């Protein structure tokens, strides 16, 4: 491993490393956000159906 070469070469790897780390964290946060949105929507639909059923039952 030639010490003279080392400092020049490794910058791109550093960038890659940080990109991967931050990228993964961001992806995970995005997945959480998406799942939140999906669940909220489904819950709204489910609650709406329940309200409709209750209305029907009451006439």
Residues of this chain that interact with other proteins (CB under 8 A) are 1, 3, 6-11, 13-14, 16-18, 20-21, 24-25, 28-29, 32, 35-36, 39-40, 42-43, 46-47, 49-50, 53
Question: What's the min distance (Å) between Cβ of 9 and other proteins?
Answer: 6
Contacts of 7 (CB under 8 A, 6+ apart): none
State the burial class of residue 36 (Cβ atoms within 10 Å of its Cβ: 0-12, 13-18, 19+): exposed
């Amino acid at each position: 491993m030639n010490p003279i070469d080392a400092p020049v070469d490794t910058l791109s790897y550093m960038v890659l490393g940080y990109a991967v780390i931050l990228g993964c964290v961001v992806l995970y946060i995005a997945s959480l956000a998406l799942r939140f949105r999906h669940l909220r929507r489904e819950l709204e639909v489910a609650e709406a159906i329940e309200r409709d059923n209750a209305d029907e039952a009451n006439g």
